[in-house]
Amino acid sequence: MNILSIKNLSAGYIVNSEFVEVLRNINLDINEGDSFAIVGQSGSGKSTLALSLMGLISIDNGKISHGNIEFCGKDISSNISKIRGKDISIVLQDPHSYLNPVIKVGKQVLEALEVYNNNLTKEEKIKRVQDIFKKVKLDDFDRIYNSYPHQLSGGQKQRILIAMAIINNPKLLIADEPTSGLDADVQQQILDLFAELKKELNLTMIIITHNISIAKKYCNRIAVMYQGELVEQANTEEIFNKPKHEYTKLLLNAVLE
């Protein structure tokens, strides 16, 4: 079943009072259960697409200029904020700027839960945060709960952000470059965690990465983005065995070299 459908989406940013288009006419269909990769080089518009999907682009002086977004068959273009963090969640690129440096991380996870589940008792909320810490494999609950972001490692901070993203049981989870800035072994652990969570929580996942090898290992479908356009989308095997677009071939050659 189709979970997310993007139709003729164009978006961009207002720079010096002028609208500069970054995404052009994006069409994308994601099925329930997909692990879907969006790959492309730096500046190709991957994060802009993710922000547009989440209704967050306006925070960055941007706007959707055309097109619409359907989630489970319903047009959500004008009311994404009502389901953001609940049905669709995102782990944003650059966790450092996203976590509040002066609030303990446990409280930040708790607050993410309260946005949609404030009816729970205090004990139920803490229990839920405890469960989520286990799910993202953060041991030593009391210490981590009471830490400020700067007291945690990069991998631990990323796990906190994942905890915040999944605490309200989303159906679709978007991870924008979820391992940038992490050591190779931590990168591997975080990607494996996403794969485990996907199975355990029945998630549909979109992984945004410039690394097509990550897409091959973790995703069943790949969309290739080039200069603000999606130039090709197909099953992973097809992309690797029968790439159609010149830019896709270039990406693959870079892997093989």
Contact 239, 232 (CB under 8 A): yes
- Residue recorded with tokens 């139920």: 124
Q: CB under 5 A: which stretch of 46-54, 137-145, 210-218, 242-250 binds Mg ion? A: 46-54
Which lies closer to ligand ATP via its Cβ, residue 31 or residue 41?
A: 41
x-or-dash string of contact with ligand ATP, 140-179, rule CB under 6 A: -------------------------------------x--
Place of tokens 């952000």: 161
Tokens of 167: 């605490």
Interaction between residue 204 and Mg ion (CB under 5 A): no
The helix-helix angle for 105-117 and 154-166 (nearest 10°) equals: 10
Structure tokens at 74: 């319903």
44 binds, among ligand ATP, Mg ion, none (CB under 5 to 8 A by kind): ligand ATP
Among 61, 169, 213, 253, binds ligand ATP (CB under 6 A): 61
Q: How many residues does the chain have?
A: 257
Q: Site for ligand ATP (CB under 6 A): which residue of 52, 93, 156, 187?
A: 93
Pick between residue 46 and residue 198 the one whose CB is nearest to Mg ion: 46
Binders of Mg ion among 60-119, rule CB under 5 A? 93
Residues in 94-133 that interact with ligand ATP by CB under 6 A: none
Among 88, 210, 215, 251, the residue binding ligand ATP under the rule CB under 6 A is 210
- Residue in this structure with the two tokens 């969309």, named with its chain if needed: 223
Closest CA to 219 of 38, 39, 37: 37
Closest CA to 164 of 92, 109, 101, 85: 109
For the chain, how far is it from start to end, CA to CA, in angstroms?
Answer: 38
**Are 192 and 22 spatial neighbours (Cβ–Cβ below 8 Å)?**
no
**Residue 87 vs 177, nearer CB to ligand ATP:** 177
List of residues contacting ligand ATP (CB under 6 A): 13, 15, 22, 40, 42-48, 60-61, 93, 177, 210
